[in-house]
């Protein structure tokens, strides 16, 4: 017969460490969260060999007395769950698990002095064996030193990545926490070199310090409220994006999360303006009453469970969409904003010009906004350009430039390389990519028509039966009405299948029904609803509009060019093509003078 025995504490802690303390970054996360919970206003992290051989966290928080020092290394000992209520968690920690877990796999020393106390104390612990409490000269606050992480569980050591990769993860953790707590100063050193420093500042400055200063001028505020839930933050203009999701910072009650539901909503909200593998940069905060969210569902609390996921989903989707619509005629900034100064890693990058924002996949462009007043055609273009354009006057239209009132996108001066339009505005110039611009115009018009006339359905001669799991068939059947609105008529077919009777006419010859149903099913499972069909239709419209657009290489006369400019002014989201590339670049005279170093 097998003998059952109670496992010794040390082993239990090591098992917990296996789950919660995956790498140095995870240890840093737990310790920095403790410092935040302790009310620190300054937190310093010192790493040696990316934290593998030594990591030190110093804070000026409330500290601990000698008795607390002993308790804090005990399993499930915490000061944070005073009411025994798991739905009323106001701190980042609550399980009382981190310190004993870290202590069971490393050599840890904690020095601490409680706020207002005369004496400091220290405690040491080696692989779970407490060495004892001693007096310490520690100033108010706490200093925790962890040496030789995982020396007691060498198997884990083997799974660690290179120093560089581990360091990146530590930086990422600090960035995520720093973004939620801009009022706290953070400093990180690695092998005695300072690698991050964030001074206490306001939320947007902290976000810019972490994302890069271009973010400030290339993002839009996002805000929405409903049912006691507050959604706010900043999201990049569609033209300012990255090839990966690393700059997507999401928070629930100031807790950094990587939640699939939220990531899915974000993707959906940008789908119309950012095609393919492009990701917006965002710092978005959801604040809601504690009892509307369960944070106790993931060992490192990276995921949460919402009481009303659908409300959150709608709030977030509409919040982002209305910001995109409101700023849809802008494209990201190219020239660094002079006023935005901040201290941050990389903050001292040389200010040479031109610099591409974020990634090489992002085409350069310059601020483009419509001030409301600019819509009134009041003033006239001040002066006719002195020099007629080259090209033997073939493409010039200086003759009409003087007759064009001062529209936001100005009047066309010339076309060059058979795809670009140069226009003069009242305070600078605009360059337009005629193909990209036209593509967006056609796309918006097609969507408009679809909205007005509804989605035409086509009845399938042979209805298609798609077999799914019973659960998935249930989920999809629940979305029947929504699917019908998007042009797809389905019915339940036995226990584990659905039958598709009608599909959107526009997709008729272009979609594999089984694939589509499976993709929709995945989506319902992932984010609880089907945005996918509408997205697919939009994607198709985008593709069609791409092919039906003015190709580069077509000569346009002055009238055609100006007509294109006027249509862009009237079209929502005209600042980017369907792939998130800017359709225009605007340079003000100020910008031009800066380029020529006259300022």
Binding site for Mg ion (CB under 5 A): 34, 93, 98
Least spacing, CB of residue 143 vs ligand ADP, in Å:
9
Check binding of 96 to ligand ADP (CB under 6 A): yes
SS3 128: coil
Least spacing, CB of residue 39 vs Mg ion, in Å:
14
Instruction: Supply angle C-alpha 339, 174, 87, rounded to 5.
Output: 115
> Toward Mg ion, which CB reaches closer, 34 or 333?
34
Give the C-alpha distances (Å, rounded to integers) separating 360 from 240, 241, 282, 355, 364: 11, 10, 19, 10, 9
Please give the Cα distance from 82 to 438 (Å, whole number). 62
Check binding of 95 to ligand ADP (CB under 6 A): yes
Closest-approach residue to Mg ion (CB): 93
Check binding of 78 to ligand ADP (CB under 6 A): yes
Binds 542: which of ligand ADP, Mg ion, none (CB < 5-8 Å by kind) = none
- Contact of 240 with 580, CB cutoff 8 Å: no
Residue with tokens 């609803």: 529
**How many chain residues interact with ligand ADP (CB under 6 A)?**
21
The pair of structure tokens assigned to 232 is: 């706010």
Alpha carbon dihedral 483, 484, 486, 488, in 10-degree steps, equals 80
- Contact of 435 with 552, CB cutoff 8 Å: yes
> Toward ligand ADP, which CB reaches closer, 108 or 414?
108
Instruction: Supply angle C-alpha 143, 146, 150, rounded to 5.
Output: 160
Applying CB under 6 A, which of residues 99, 167, 332, 507 lies at the interface with ligand ADP?
Answer: 99
SS3 98: helix
SS3 290: helix
Least spacing, CB of residue 98 vs ligand ADP, in Å:
3
Check binding of 97 to ligand ADP (CB under 6 A): yes
Check binding of 363 to ligand ADP (CB under 6 A): no
Residue with tokens 């001066």: 413
> Toward ligand ADP, which CB reaches closer, 130 or 460?
130
> Toward Mg ion, which CB reaches closer, 141 or 580?
141
Binds 142: which of Mg ion, ligand ADP, none (CB < 5-8 Å by kind) = ligand ADP
Least spacing, CB of residue 46 vs ligand ADP, in Å:
15
**Residue 50 falls in which region: left (phi positive, over 0), alpha (psi -120 to 50) or beta:** left
Check binding of 66 to ligand ADP (CB under 6 A): no
Least spacing, CB of residue 93 vs Mg ion, in Å:
3
Least spacing, CB of residue 94 vs ligand ADP, in Å:
5
The pair of structure tokens assigned to 161 is: 């990545």
Please give the Cα distance from 382 to 401 (Å, whole number). 10
> Toward ligand ADP, which CB reaches closer, 97 or 185?
97
Give the C-alpha distances (Å, rounded to integers) separating 105 from 76, 108, 146, 150, 172: 17, 9, 10, 5, 23
Binds 62: which of Mg ion, ligand ADP, none (CB < 5-8 Å by kind) = ligand ADP
> Toward ligand ADP, which CB reaches closer, 81 or 465?
81
Check binding of 487 to ligand ADP (CB under 6 A): no
> Toward ligand ADP, which CB reaches closer, 97 or 444?
97
Check binding of 138 to ligand ADP (CB under 6 A): no
Closest-approach residue to ligand ADP (CB): 93
Residue with tokens 């100033």: 139
Check binding of 123 to ligand ADP (CB under 6 A): no
Check binding of 79 to ligand ADP (CB under 6 A): yes
> Toward ligand ADP, which CB reaches closer, 186 or 407?
186
Identify each DSSP E strand in 177-335 by its residue range.
185-190, 193-198, 219-226, 229-236, 241-242, 248-252, 255-257, 279-280, 282-287, 293-294, 305-306
Least spacing, CB of residue 88 vs Mg ion, in Å:
17
- Contact of 538 with 272, CB cutoff 8 Å: yes
Q: Which residues contact 106 (CB under 8 A, 6 or more apart)?
A: 127, 146, 147, 148, 149, 150, 151, 152
Check binding of 98 to ligand ADP (CB under 6 A): yes
Least spacing, CB of residue 34 vs Mg ion, in Å:
4
Binds 170: which of ligand ADP, Mg ion, none (CB < 5-8 Å by kind) = none
> Toward ligand ADP, which CB reaches closer, 95 or 551?
95
Q: Which of residues 35-64 bind ligand ADP (CB under 6 A)?
A: 35, 38, 59, 61-64
CA atoms within 13 A on the CB side of 506: 22
Least spacing, CB of residue 535 vs ligand ADP, in Å:
41
b/e for 76-89, b at 16 or more Cβ within 10 A?
Answer: eebbebeeeeeeeb
Q: Which stretch binds ligand ADP (CB under 6 A): 93-101, 340-348, 472-480, 507-515?
A: 93-101
Q: Which stretch binds ligand ADP (CB under 6 A): 89-97, 353-361, 388-396, 502-510?
A: 89-97
Query: Taking Cα atoms as reference points, which of 57, 222, 53 lies closest to residue 151?
Result: 53
Check binding of 145 to ligand ADP (CB under 6 A): no
**Alpha-helical segments (H) within 95-186:** 98-104, 154-158, 163-180
Binds 185: which of ligand ADP, Mg ion, none (CB < 5-8 Å by kind) = none
Check binding of 80 to ligand ADP (CB under 6 A): yes
Phi, psi angles (nearest 5°) of residue 263: -60, -40
User: Binding residues for ligand ADP, per CB under 6 A?
Assistant: 30, 34-35, 38, 59, 61-64, 72, 78-80, 93-99, 142
């Amino acid at each position: 017969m097998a003998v059952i025995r109670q496992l010794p504490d040390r082993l239990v802690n090591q098992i917990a460490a296996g789950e919660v303390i995956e790498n140095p970054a995870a240890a840093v996360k737990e310790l920095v969260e403790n410092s935040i919970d302790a009310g620190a206003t300054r937190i310093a992290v010192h790493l040696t060999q990316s934290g593998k051989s030594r990591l030190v966290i110093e804070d000026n928080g409330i500290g601990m007395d000698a008795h607390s020092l002993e308790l804090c290394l005990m399993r499930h000992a915490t000061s944070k769950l005073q009411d025994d209520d798991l739905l009323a968690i106001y701190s980042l920690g609550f399980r009382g698990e981190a310190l004993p877990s870290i202590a069971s796999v490393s050599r840890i020393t904690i020095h601490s002095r409680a706020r207002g106390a005369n004496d400091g104390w220290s405690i040491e612990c080696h692989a779970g064996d407490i060495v004892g409490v001693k007096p310490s000269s520690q100033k108010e606050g706490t200093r925790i030193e962890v040496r030789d992480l995982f020396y007691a569980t060498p198997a884990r050591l083997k799974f660690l990545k290179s120093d560089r990769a581990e360091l990146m993860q530590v930086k990422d953790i600090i960035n995520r926490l720093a973004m939620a707590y801009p009022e706290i100063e953070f400093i990180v050193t690695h092998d005695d070199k300072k690698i991050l420093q964030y001074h206490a500042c306001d939320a947007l400055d902290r976000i810019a310090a972490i994302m890069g200063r271009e973010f400030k001028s290339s993002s839009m505020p996002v805000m929405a409220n409903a049912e006691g839930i507050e959604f706010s933050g900043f999201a990049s203009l569609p033209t300012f994006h990255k090839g990966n999701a690393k700059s997507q910072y999401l928070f629930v009650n100031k807790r950094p999360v990587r939640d699939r539901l939220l990531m899915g909503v974000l993707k959906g909200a940008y789908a119309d303006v950012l095609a393919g593998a492009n990701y917006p940069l965002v710092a978005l905060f959801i604040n809601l009453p504690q009892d509307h969210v369960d944070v106790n569902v993931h060992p490192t609390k990276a995921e949460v469970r919402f009481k009303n996921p659908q409300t959150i989903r709608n709030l977030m989707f509409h919040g982002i969409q209305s910001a995109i619509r409101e700023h849809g005629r802008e494209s990201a900034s190219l020239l660094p904003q002079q006023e935005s100064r901040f201290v941050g890693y990389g903050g001292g990058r040389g200010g040479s010009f031109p610099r591409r924002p974020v990634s090489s996949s992002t085409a350069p462009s310059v601020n483009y906004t419509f001030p409301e007043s600019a819509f009134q055609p009041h003033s006239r273009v001040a002066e006719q350009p002195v020099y007629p354009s080259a090209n033997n006057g073939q493409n010039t239209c200086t003759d009409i430039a003087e007759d064009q009132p001062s529209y936001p996108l100005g009047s066309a001066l010339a076309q060059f390389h058979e795809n670009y339009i140069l226009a003069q505005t009242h305070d600078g110039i605009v360059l337009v990519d005629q193909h990209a611009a036209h593509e967006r115009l056609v796309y918006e018009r097609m969507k408009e028509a679809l909205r007005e006339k509804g989605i035409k359905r086509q009845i399938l001669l042979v209805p298609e039966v798609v077999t799914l799991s019973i659960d998935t068939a249930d989920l999809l059947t629940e979305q029947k009405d929504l699917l019908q609105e998007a042009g797809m008529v389905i019915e339940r077919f036995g226990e584990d299948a659905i039958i598709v009777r009608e599909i959107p006419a526009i997709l008729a010859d272009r979609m594999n029904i089984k694939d589509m149903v499976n993709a929709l099913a995945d989506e319902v499972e992932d984010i609880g609803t089907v945005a996918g069909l509408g997205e697919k239709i939009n994607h198709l419209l985008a593709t069609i509009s791409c092919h039906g657009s003015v190709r580069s290489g077509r000569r346009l006369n002055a009238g055609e060019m100006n007509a294109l400019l006027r249509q862009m002014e009237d079209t929502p989201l005209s600042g980017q093509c369907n792939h998130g590339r800017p359709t225009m670049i605007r340079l003000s005279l100020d910008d031009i003078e800066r380029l020529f170093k006259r300022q």
